[in-house]
Structure 1
Amino acid sequence: MKIIKHSGDIVDFDRSKLKTSLLKSGANESLVDQVIESIEKKIYEGITTKSIYKLAFSLLKKSSNSHAARYNLRVAIELLGPTGFFFEKYISRLFLSEGYQTRINLTLQGKCISHEIDVMLKKEEIITMIECKFHAKREVNSDVKVPMYILSRFNDLKDKTYPIFSNNDKISKCKIITNNRFTTDAITFAMCSGLDLLSWDYPINNNLRTKIDNNNLYPITCLTTLSLSEKDKLLILDVIMVKEIINNSESLEKIGLSTSRIKNVLKEASELCKYI
């Protein structure tokens, strides 16, 4: 059976790929097989992957909100848009959880011109500038022009010192992060030029998805027990990570949730982050 991907490409329906993605939700194999059987009864020639995703999400949610939330991860990251502001804050919190010092939204004067820097990291005296490339649409990838441009910015900044974490800091590394993917040429150029890349699926064993899943660093937009407007209100209150509400329900009270709603949200959050 032929299905249509986000990119518009037409491919064969692959049961094993669907099973792999469903298992990543935390659901056991028996439940995953039941979900796939239900989906196979409903799919048809030319169905979109987006429609298949909606079916899978709905079926998982009937079993467990946290399974559905984990399966919803990529969409949840897209909900940090439409601009890149909350994605940048999320990336900062992600590295903060890994033991880095972080700063966001800096403007630094390079040798030639000034530059706005999305995120700065410091760990073991190594200071890294991060450029975040957020895309609201799944099919948009970062091509080779992105690392070429970022390299020129890094080169303009790296030979000077700045008051970032201390009064005399020097930027020694550069990393580009996207919520989507890099093209093959972009990866090749970055490797050749000494730039680090992080995307949804790159590097293979330490990509954005694995960082999030392995350390339970889920964005607040994952939660299925909150509406879109409630998620937006929490982001405005600077609540970015699901972990940030588990032992602090005050923010949920601030956005007007009832006691019973708060209980449901905290239950999902705790199961999602395995605080049970």
Structure 2
Amino acid sequence: MVLVKKADGRKEEFDGGKIIATCMRAGLPRKAAEAVLAKVNKKLYDGIGTHDIYEMVLKELERTEDRSSMVFRLREAVSQMPSDKFELYVMKLLEGRGYRCRWNVLVKGRYVEHQADILAEKAGRKYLVECKHHVNPHRFCGLGIALQVQARLDDIRDGFREGKNTLDFSQAWIVTNTKYSEHAKSYASGKKIILSGWKYKGKDSLENIIQSKRMYPVSMLKLDKNVKSRLYEQNITTIQEAVGAKGIDRKAADYIRNQTKLLLG
């Protein structure tokens, strides 16, 4: 039995099934995923870190198929986005699911004015969406965030009842690129806060929202900082938007077009 050291210091038994499942989600057929696992198994040792395993898998994917290695890097790519562009990216993901959205809106509550990351609406229901972006994708989104979001929602609802705003919110919704603590999950469940995080929850998990619409972030592309900066200056956050972007040299434009075609099939 090989024990693996997780990012938070805990140890657990190595589970090869997770590697196969991850590789298949990235687009590899099962036999190819099993071949990747076989190569990783040869390099395992007791106490190996999850990041070391990640690097092994990524190296094998890069040898077999460009697309699968790019999708495998999705979590890392999202963590590399600027926080304000992550908010904009989330808004575009929600719009891709049929929500009407507004980004970065000031809303008067009963006591104070609040800056809402996203206001989303669908089927007559309004959502106060809070985005929490972390550079370290292994951090947890904790109870404090859920408490803060609920307090904001309560004040805005009180403001609505007093005629200070016209937004009758149905629910709060937190979107993060990391995982949630158990306390945050428990509190959110009781308060009916929607949680979208990494591998949480089901169809509303962040990676599922991204992959179901194939709206991959531009940070997945291997572009130099200047090109990425020019894209972000134009509020371009998805690979689809990057195709035909202005102010990009021909070499970068061709690369973007080819990689987008590869990712979208």
Q: Same fold by TM (over 0.5)?
A: yes
- In the alignment, what sits opposite 1:206? 204
Match of 1:187? 185
CA contact (8 A) 2:109 2:160 kept: no
Counterpart CA distance in 1 for 2:5 and 2:119 is 39
Partners in 1 of 2:65 and 2:259 — Cα distance?
A: 8
User: Which of the residues 203, 211, 222 maps onto 2:220?
Assistant: 222
Contact 1:99 1:123 in 2 (8 A): yes
How far did residue 168 of structure 1 move? 4.2
Aligned position for 1:144: 143
Residue 88 of structure 2 aligns with an amino acid whose one-letter code is K
Are the counterparts in 2 of residues 131 and 176 from structure 1 also a CA contact under 8 Å?
yes
Q: Distance in 2 between matches of 1:250 and 1:229?
A: 14
Question: CA separation in 2, counterparts of 1:194 and 1:10?
Answer: 33
What count of residue pairs does the alignment treat as equivalent?
A: 261
**CA distance in 2 between partners of 1:51 and 1:232 (Å):** 30
Cα deviation code 1:109-132 (max 9, x no counterpart): 210011111111122332211111
Q: How is 1:111-130 mapped onto 2 (pairs within 5 angstroms)?
A: 111-130=110-129
Q: 1:202 Cα shift?
A: 1.8
Number of the residue aligned with 2:257: 266
Task: Find the counterpart in structure 2 of residue 250 from structure 1.
Answer: 245
Counterparts of residues 52-63 of structure 1 (less than 5 Å): 52-63=53-64
Q: Percent identity?
A: 23
Query: Which residue in the other structure is 2:66 paired with?
Result: 65
SS at match of 2:117: strand
Unaligned runs of 5+ in 1: none
TM-score, normalisation: structure 2: 0.90
Q: Residues of 1 paired with 2:224 and 2:63: CA distance?
A: 17
The answer as to 2:105 corresponding to 1:106 is: yes
RMSD (CA atoms): 2.1
Bigger Cα displacement from structure 2, 39-48 vs 50-59: 39-48
Matched, 1:41 2:38: no
In the alignment, is the contact (CA less than 8 A) between 2:88 and 2:237 conserved in 1?
Answer: yes
Q: What CA deviation, in whole Å up to 9, does each residue of 1:207-246 have, x standing for no partner?
A: 11111111112111122x434553344223321011223x
TM-score between both structures, scaled by the size of structure 1:
0.86
* Distance change in 2, residues 1:109/1:186 (3 Å): same
1:22 and 1:228 map into 2 onto residues whose CA distance is 28
Alignment deviations for residues 171-201 of structure 1 (CA, whole Å, 9 cap, x no partner): 3321111111112221121121122111112
Distance in 1 separating the partners of 2:248 and 2:189: 45
Distance in 1, matches of 2:138 and 2:192, equals 26
